[in-house]
Structure formats: C-alpha cells, structure tokens
Amino acid sequence: MEIKHLFFDLDHTLWDFDRNSKLTFQKIFEEQNITIPIDDFLEVYMPINLKYWRLYREDKVEKSDLRYHRLKETFDALNYKVSDDMIDVISEDYIRYLPNYNYLFSDAVEVLEYLENKYHLHIITNGFEEVQNLKLQKSGIDKYFKQVITSECVGVKKPNPKVFEFALSKAEAEAHESIMIGDSYEADVMGALNSGMMAIHFSEEAKNNGVQRVASLIELKNYL
C-alpha cells in the first residue's frame, strides 16, 4: 500500500505551543503590570486550558467561552483580582500576539524538507482559523503544505470524522493512502483511525495501544 498524503496537526506537533504561549503571556503581563510569576500562572492555567479545549472539541462551550473562562478560572484560582474588561483585553491580546512567537519543535523544518518531495503534506488543526494561518506563515512552514484545514472552516472539530472526510476531499486523497500525525491520541489518532486513515502518535509517553508512536519528529524518517 502506497502512502501519498501526510496530514499534520499544528499545535504541540510542529509548532511549539507551550513555549510560544509562555512568551506571549510574558509580554502581556509586562504591558498590563500583572505581577503573578509567569511559571506560577502557567502551572494553574495549562490544565484549565486543556479542560476548556476538550469542552470546545465536544461542542460544550463556544469559542468566546473558552477564551474568557480559561483566564477567569486561572486568576480566581490564584486569588488575583482581574476585572472582566481586563480579561477581555488579555484574551484579545493573546490571540493577536501569539503568532508573533514562532518556535517550532526541533527538527520540524528538517523533517518537512525531507518529506515534501516524497508526499503531499497537509495540516488539520482544531485551532482558531485567524491564528493558525498566521502561525504557519510567520514560522515559515506554510510553503510545505498544500491544504490547511481548520475545524472552524468545517464547522466541527477533531475527532469528528467530518473533519477528516473534509480534509481528504480537499486534498483529493483516499483514506487508505493517508497518515495523520499528531500529539492528541483522542483528536488526532482516534479521529484518523475512525476515518479509515492510518496514524502516528507524536508523544514522549509510551502507550501500549498498538499505534505507531514517535517521541521526536526526526524519528518519522524511520517510518516515512
């Protein structure tokens, strides 16, 4: 069976979300004179953010709820008084500033260079449309991808099969000749497998689930 198409997740897979997010919050905190040490803030914020992204994936909260409540809950947990107006400012600035920091995971460019002449490369991401395209452009990796599919343009989110079906259609690809590569076992791996695609899980944690796993992007050279 010949593989022709590779579909990558973006955040936490190619684009170093945690590092870029930290730098974004640092800039905002300096501008708004927020005195919480950034590492203390992130320790509380990161699990709350993951919780809200899960709810967002499951269509249990709207985009605006995610943006507001992930910040509100974090500041409340830290007993730091912030007005709703300030939360709105931080939320807007975060989305505006985030694409300006563009650290990629190590070996991302080398691996994309290696793969681009062998496969058709695409992106499938649950991230917000207005931000994801900027991330790709400003990090200089947009040139590698033929199609960029965001959940917002489909109207549903990974792992919903409709996202993968839409992506396959846009890429003019068949499921059996396609592999999804991403960090989320639920959204990327299970979503792809349930759509008839193959999947490679990008994760440092070994899971005995029968799915091909790589702990670093450079390991993709062993399989592709």
pLDDT by 10s per residue, the chain, length 224: 799 999 999 999 999 999 999 999 999 999 999 999 999 999 999 999 999 999 998 889 999 999 999 999 999 999 999 999 999 999 999 999 999 999 999 999 999 999 999 999 999 999 888 899 999 999 999 999 999 999 999 999 999 999 999 999 999 999 999 999 999 999 999 999 999 999 999 998 877 678 999 999 999 999 99
pLDDT computed for residue 128 by the predictor: 84
For the four alpha carbons of 185, 187, 188 and 193, in that order, the dihedral sign comes to: positive
Structural domains of the chain, ranges and CATH numbers in brackets: 5-16+104-222 (3.40.50.1000), 17-100 (1.10.150.240)
pLDDT computed for residue 129 by the predictor: 87
The pTM of the full predicted model, rounded to 2 decimals, is: 0.93
Beta bridge partners, 125, equal 150
Can you give the C-alpha Rg of the chain in angstroms? 18
pLDDT computed for residue 207 by the predictor: 74
Task: Using CA atoms of 11, 118, 223, 167 in order, give the dihedral in degrees to the nearest 10.
Answer: 40
8 A C-beta contact, residue 198 and residue 179: yes
Q: Which residues of 5-16 are buried (b: 16+ CB within 10 A; e: fewer)?
A: bbbbbbbbbbbb
DSSP notation for 196-221: T-EEEEE-SS---SS-EEESSGGGGG
pLDDT computed for residue 130 by the predictor: 84
- Which two tokens mark 193? 């497998």
The distance of Cα 183 from the centroid of its chain, to the nearest Å, equals 8
- Spatial neighbors of 137 by CB under 8 A, at least 6 apart, are 99
